Amino acid sequence: MNLELLNFGALEDAPELADPIEAWLKERWGKFTASEIHRLMTNGKAKDSLSVGAMTYIREKVAEQLSEFSSNDFSSAAMDWGREHELEAIQAFESLTEIRVNQTGENQQFILSECGHWGGTPDGITFESGVEVKCPESKTHLLYLSVVDAETLKAEEPKYYWQIQACMALTGKGHWHFVSYDPRFYAEHLRLHCCVIERVQDDVDLMLARIAMAVEQRDKLIHQLQHKGGRRNE
């Protein structure tokens, strides 16, 4: 996959913002994102229905589409810890695997899907794959030590399973690296855990079908609300 062919959003064309995180958040505003795609996948294998939780997520996107951009809710102590140690985790991964990782840290970019309605931000891109890095609490890192493949990731942490499948769908990659890092562990060999997550095409197809349904529902709700406002003004 030629990275030059991917649609990395419109950050370069957008007005420059003082905070790169704010610029990234603005690029994602109103769109379905890889990190939240799992919310569309909570209704089993039925391609023709969306769960209550999925509809809640869709309404959130409707609200964003119809309102001014806000970045007030994107922060927490856990997220700050993760961002602070992410590059350290990637360096440890590169040292262990001898795989070069690009587009990390401030060079990460939001990849927009061809349809323009959803996208994602990989933590890193390699020549053949990509990297999803988690720097969680120690008790969560301990859980991730048992993740060895797509099946176990889907069982233990489905939201990250779907995030990775979404990133593979966006980039055309056939596999991805799941990395968990916690420098607080005494034993050095337990601080970094990584495994390969293969692309599961049946799940990718199901996910794309759910996204299409979500876009349709989002646009339907927006049309209804706009039409309601038009009737009120008549």
Report which of residues 20 and 146 the model is more confident about. Answer: 146
Of the listed ranges 96-110, 140-154, 201-215, the least confidently predicted one is: 96-110
What percentage of the chain exceeds 90 in pLDDT? 71
Cα 41 to Cα 63: distance, rounded to the nearest angstrom: 21
Poorest-confidence range of 9-18, 71-80, 138-147, 161-170? 9-18
Residue reference for tokens 């690296």 = 177
Q: What is the pLDDT of residue 218?
A: 96
* Crossing angle of helices 201-232 and 52-65, rounded to 10°: 50
Q: What is the DSSP letter of 107?
A: G
Span 3-232: which CATH code? 3.90.320.10
Average pLDDT over residues 56-69: 94
Q: What is the mean pLDDT of residues 84-89?
A: 92
Q: What would the mean pLDDT of 20-48 be, rounded to a whole number? A: 88
* Mean per-residue pLDDT of the chain: 88
- Report the alpha-carbon distance of residue 31 to residue 191 in Å, rounded: 34
pLDDT at 231 over 70: no
Q: How many CA atoms lie within 13 A of 189 on its CB side?
A: 0
Residue identified by tokens 């995180």 is 21
More confident residue, 230 or 43: 43
- Provide the CA 161 distance to its chain's centre, in angstroms: 10
Strands 175-181 and 118-120: unpaired
- Interatomic CA distance for residues 90 and 102, integer angstroms: 10
